[in-house]
Structure 1
Amino acid sequence: MTGVTQVTSAVEVAAGAATTGRSARVRVRLFAGAAAAAGTEERLLDVPAEGTGVPTVEDLRRTLVAEHPALGPVLEVATVLVGEVAAEGDAALVVGPQDPAAPPVVDVLPPFAGG
């Protein structure tokens, strides 16, 4: 991976904290067509929660599309891994205690062929 693009959303993450009740800072790794659509392979991103709980995969998708509209069609078919486990729309982005120095890793894997 080359370089990390850092973005701060409208919802600020408290200094030194990986999560608040309303947002989470995650390291998003984009692969293949997702990286091409976003123009980057990796993002450090603050994801605000739409509801009152912790941010979900759907909140991540919404935040990514707001920053990179070309990701919309890719995210519709991509698999999202949170901590190396496949996660669907309502799955939390943050599970268990988090190390502020190492935000949780989320991978976006579009379908690909080959082998």
Structure 2
Amino acid sequence: MDIKVKFFAAAAAAAGTQETLVQAPEGASVADVIALATAGNEQLGKLAAFCAVLGPDGFIRDRSVPATMPQLELLPPFAGG
């Protein structure tokens, strides 16, 4: 399944792009998709651990849920929040 991962603010700066397309295997979790999207970029991988994850139905607090959505957004803490 193709899942678009969008990056905002510091995450976009670390990624060097505003979005990437991840080919997620069957049964992949949201955490798996984030790991694939940040693979090979240590700075982005570390930052992703602190990012809020937004899906089509709102914020995703449990990253172990299946990634069945077409898009995820990684939002880093803003202004120290």
> TM-score by structure 2 length?
0.82
Structure 1 vs Structure 2 CA RMSD = 1.8
Which entry has the higher C-alpha Rg, 1 or 2? 1
Maintained 8 Å contact 1:28/1:44: yes
1:58-79 CA distance string (max 9 Å, x none): 1012212314222112111001
Distance 1:39 1:84 in 2: 27
- Following TM superposition, by how much is the alpha carbon of 1:84 offset from its aligned partner in structure 2, in angstroms? 4.3
- Following TM superposition, by how much is the alpha carbon of 1:45 offset from its aligned partner in structure 2, in angstroms? 1.5
Is residue 79 from structure 1 mapped to residue 52 from structure 2 by the alignment?
yes
Q: Show the counterpart of 1:30.
A: 7
Q: Show the counterpart of 2:17.
A: 40
Higher relative contact order (CA 8 A, sep 6+): 2
Maintained 8 Å contact 2:55/2:71: yes
Maintained 8 Å contact 1:64/1:71: no
Maintained 8 Å contact 1:84/1:107: no
- Which runs of 5 or more residues in structure 2 are unaligned? none
Q: Show the counterpart of 2:68.
A: 94
1:25-50 CA distance string (max 9 Å, x none): 1111100011011100011211235x
> TM-score by structure 1 length?
0.60
Aligned residues: 79
Distance 1:62 1:84 in 2: 21
* Identical amino acids, percent of aligned pairs: 34
Higher helix fraction (1 or 2): 2
